Structure 1
Amino acid sequence: MSDVSPDENHQTPLTRPGFIVSAALILVLIAAVIVIAFIPRGGDEPDARSNEPTTSETTSAPAATAAGVEESVCGLPASDDTALGAAPESNWELVGTMAVPEAPETAGPGVVDDRGFRTCFAHSPTGALYAAANLLGQGSIGDEETQRKLLEQLTIESAGQQTALENISEAGSAPSVQISGFQLLSYSDSAATVDIAFTLEGGAVGHVSLPLRWADGDWKIEVADDGQFLNDPVQLNDLSDYIPWSGV
């Protein structure tokens, strides 16, 4: 990966050779997860509980709070906070090729199935952040079963979801991409936008924004009508605008 600083010909970041290579790798990852899935990473070896449920799965509809918002499908605590000004203290675990955060009793994932698939995040800014990070980690797993689960369980039902499901294909492993920081761009009872900064193994840095909605007691991604799973990743000059947060 090449340097991301401006060159003497004043090329824009999108046209620099280093960016083109980095973006191509990211798009490979993205394609590896649901039509335009996304990037992945590295980290420590997962511990023994990674393949065990952290709580019992719930099949009944989640209850509604006094404000009319559905409670977490697995009973994780909600929060009235609407901002996240500092990085939460987190345990990190390798999922696919990316290190992702976990706090199963407070932020999530509250449910990890027997194949390690992670769902149920708290109705809070921290829960939204953890949901976004874990979704990217699971996006680094390129097998068709995981891609289908991501679409069926962690995206909003829509025409875009159906388009993505119709275009699932087996994907290979993705190059190492690691979470490096975040911004919580917006947050409300019903929606959040989480901006995740990442570093590729060659040192280039970039970011991607994830639009989340609270639905059926969990944070889920909105898929565009064309089946695009994430907004296009964009390269950054540095990470100065982001709250540092990393598991490696």
Structure 2
Amino acid sequence: MGLFSRNPDSDDDFDGEKTSFLEERGFIASAIVVGAVLICLVVWFMASGRNDTPSANPSQSPSTEAPTGQPTEPTGPPATPVEPTEQPTKTAPPPPNSHTGGCHDRSPAQGIPRLAAPAAVTWQFEGEILVPIQAAAGPAATSPDGVRSCFAHSPTGAVLAAMVVLGQIQNPDVSLDVLRTRVLPGPGRNAAIAAAKEQLKTPPTPDGDVQFAGFKVLYYPPGGAQAIIQVVADLNHKAYGALPITMQWSHGDWYAVLQDDGTFNGSVEPDILSSLNGYVRFSGAS
């Protein structure tokens, strides 16, 4: 199975169509690429018969022009253009390897981000997906192979770790190394590695425009031994797909936990969302 599975017992009228699609793309045998995983959610959404109009790009502001009427003559001299006094500030990306922040911070802030996204974050491409990088919560280490690690033992650190692991898994240049080093050992990791090897034998297929859109911390107990983060991706501006990611604190860092079938969600049905209500908006895409 891929990292994202769907309950085969679901009484969806389009099971036959979905099965055909998944087998055609090699998903059942090998789809560990998170982009393909999320795109299959689009297929479920489209096949379910929903014809929702795609939401407008949030970066576009509503028009403030008045309705067209009779032309009027200007009543005064033209206004003098005003130069902007300051440019929008941008957070400089942290170094790939640092001895401060991330897992090096012995007393990171323990507040759970429920209303506002983590601050001072830069976004960097991992394959086709932008992943969040923060000097305070991590990742604070990058291996020679490009695997990112060393996240803060905090709710924010768990959120960033979940999104970075997902983003790196979809990147064929580092996917195997990420599965071997950023996922806890067990049957699930073995199944995912086997699927990844098969996936790498076939030419990649375009995944479309899929980017992270937000998150919700579902579970973070005192002490932070484990965390469950619901990560949301924007699926080609047609819907949102939500994926539960279980992270466990072990050996001084956050590691992903897979079900025995090699997926993140096992028998838990995927969530298709029409909006981000109830989630923290968090995206590097405009």
TM over 0.5: yes
1:35, 1:168 within 8 Å by CA — same for their partners in 2?
no
Shift of 1:78: 3.9
The equivalent position to 1:81 in structure 2, one of 99, 106, 110, is 110
Within the candidate set 208, 216, 234, 1:175 is matched to: 208
- Alignment correspondent of 1:195: 230
Equivalents in 2 of 1:95, 1:113: separation in Å? 14
Separation in structure 2 between the aligned mates of residue 186 and residue 81 of structure 1, nearest angstrom = 13
Q: In 2 relative to 1, CA 35–162 (structure 1 residues): closer, same or farther, beyond 3 Å?
A: farther
3-state SS in 2 of match to 1:149? helix
Indicate the RMSD between aligned Cα atoms, in angstroms: 3.8
CA distance in structure 2 between the aligned counterparts of 1:179 and 1:134, rounded to whole angstroms: 10
Q: Which residue of 1 aligns with 2:191?
A: 163
Equivalent-residue separation in structure 2 for 1:26 and 1:91 (angstroms): 33
Which amino acid in 2 is paired with 1:179?
F
Hey, what's the Cα distance between the residues in 1 that align with 2:26 and 2:218?
Answer: 23
**Contact kept? 2:244, 2:264, Cα under 8 Å:** no
Aligned to 1:98: 129
Could you say what secondary structure the match of 1:192 adopts? strand
Gaps of at least 5 residues in structure 2 are 1-9, 40-92
1:120: which partner in 2? 150
What is the CA distance between 1:247 and its match in structure 2? 0.7
Q: Aligned partners of 1:219 and 1:198: how far apart in 2?
A: 21
Match in the other structure for 1:151:
179
Shift >6 Å, 4+ stretches: 34-37
Identity %: 29
> Residues of 2 paired with 1:191 and 1:227: CA distance?
19
Q: Is the 8 A contact 2:233 2:240 kept in 1?
A: yes
| Structure 1 residue 29: Cα displacement | 11
Name the aligned partner's letter for residue 83 of structure 1.
Answer: I
Structure 1 unaligned residues grouped into runs of 5+: 1-11, 41-48, 57-71
**Which amino acid letter does the alignment assign opposite residue 197 of structure 1?**
V
| 3-state SS of 1:81 partner | coil
Secondary structure of the residue that 1:168 maps to in structure 2?
helix
Paired residues for 1:1-248 under 5 Å:
31-33=30-32, 38-39=37-38, 53-55=96-98, 74-79=103-108, 81=110, 83-85=112-114, 86-89=116-119, 90-103=121-134, 105-143=135-173, 146-169=174-197, 170=200, 172-173=204-205, 174-188=207-221, 189-231=224-266, 233-248=270-285
| TM value normalised by structure 2 | 0.61
| Cα pair distance change 1:215/1:38, threshold 3 Å | farther
- Distance, in Å, in 2 between the alignment partners of 1:215 and 1:130 is 16
Cα 1:177–1:233 shift into 2, 3 Å: farther
Secondary structure of the structure 1 residue equivalent to 2:117: coil
SS in 2 for 1:160: helix
- Offset, 1:76: 3.4
Distance 1:87 1:106, change over 3 A: same
Query: For residues 137 and 131 of structure 1, what CA distance do their matches in structure 2 show?
Result: 10
Count of equivalent residues: 209
